[in-house]
Structure 1
């Protein structure tokens, strides 16, 4: 326990990791280890250490930096909670999470913009769906919603054309990587330890011969990384995002739901054209398609992102068009759930692939809302990869999935296998739910 205390004392200055590396041949012990330093993992670790300040906590992250993948490659939108089924966890957590996010940013001095969002109907047959979306948002207690007509659309977005729009003034934008890093600072200040460059490859109960000491009895779970380094702990919470299914399988969980990665490529408006977009401009969702469609997203740096598309990624953390990993590719294409999804959405999928290849096809989608946008006004921009959970029937898993392991280790692990979008917006609310679940499962 002394080693853990010393680590916690030096965590705020960044000395914990260096000290631990220097002493890696000695046993390091923690009460709870959180695997994954994305925004959900860091928010959960922060909530846990605030609730249980007498316990020793650590966050393990395989990358050198925090919030490196989904948390650092998203659109940066603070969603208001319009889309989700009334009464669902997603609806509740998004509305609660948005309020907590704004409050947290105010407390920490993190810049954000409450720039609003218009969900715009450009065809007559979209209007009934838009009105239904408005009713859904009201049921979810989303503040400030109203339906507006053509003149009001142009008053808010002078270059946008539409028949009717749902105005959501509570929608905003923020840099979620900055938010995640602030969570990490809170965690460290509360005594937590963050170890980067620690890729977890195995979790198991200590063997009898190893558990005869007092530490071994109290900290019976061994977490190993790809370098053979070990951490001993009592309990584990995993928030592994794109690798959540693989990490849970290590402890004997079901292989489903499977994570299938979808890459989203953005365009960017040239800086001299960014004046054409003031807030978020979104299409009316089409229930026939699995993803949302092209939209306009202003960013905190003043740029405007356009998109994204949605195509199968050939590498789970592959952000470039030609990124490829044989294992990730075979894992995806051998899964029956993916083929069932593809067969139900063949035309949509082919259209997405076509738009990847031809810039003009993407711009055509954007011109439905802002006709003045041309191919000469845009550049190819960044990409993100979404950890989409799929079941064996090809359905997108749209709710939270918690799981444990099998055998003795099962009761000591909580796997967060699916924390669906809008997880970044909802991160503080999700963290409360995970902390509640951990307290119940682990009897903290």
Structure 2
């Protein structure tokens, strides 16, 4: 029997994205020569990485942000001008001018967006991409800077940055081999370090990076990885316990002294996994779990426009916005024909798509007709027998009412309908016990 199992409305996705952007607009900071956002959106002073991620979050769904030039000017002013190999990178507030990949790769990604303004940032983008290439480790992976242990998240992020800006084909090819070798030997997935226990987060990052490189993974490999992600996806649950925050030490040399900076990266496994599934282009997105995950994202968006950051649930964070906007945007463009259409999932791989201005009555009517047609097609013999039985009962009943037939004669006329219905009952029982589906 055909029935709608889930619905996805384009206007709901668009409204969610708009609320997230409204949150970013409300929390935009412009202080002295700085302009942008900080990790915690309620912080009065902007930071480099968050400002780049903010621009990226507007650009992904193609929304123009009216204060982009101010953010670009701030990012360009913060680019490191020290001696090689650190020249051209970006630092974060807690590294005091020491460039790291976590910031530099995000700025390169933001500056690579076609609507950000390459005329004003082209030289900064070139220097940033050069910094990323110069800080690739000899094993072809990336850590926070050259010489730090290569990690899956860093290598995937750097690969995406270089691929998106078109500034490092050789480095990307080498990183491709590192990522493939870093896969867990037992399952088609990745953990934070080469060969470590796989997680949704790191598998998603690795897949997003490798899927952009033509021929990096076979279709069968991508399918196995996406099936692993789909199996681990839990609608309504946005984080996985092991990767809620990825923490690691980064040693720095500052003012002639060695210091250690502990980096903490909040991760959201749910939207990242959904984005990886949708962008890989192999798994059919018309799946109940995909629709349920999207509905879970819509249902858990806070009034502020952000989603809850597990370790600081009362403070809106840019890390609790961009992965959700990215996933919603990919779903809107992958599943729906327009931002204002609706998808009614009938069964995996099959949806009814309609423009929202048509109204839902059309879908309901079509579903009812589909249900009746499907039932009649699978129950042809039953329908025929019942029609014959109704006719065989109706004619004698009419004669009885008109006085042309006695009661005893009427009862005798019911023998044929009863035999037909008994035959249908026995047939259905035997056919059902035999595992069939009825003629």
TM over 0.5: no
Q: Which of 1 and 2 has greater Rg?
A: 2
Higher helix proportion: 2
Alignment TM-score, normalising by the size of structure 2: 0.21
Alignment TM-score, normalising by the size of structure 1: 0.21
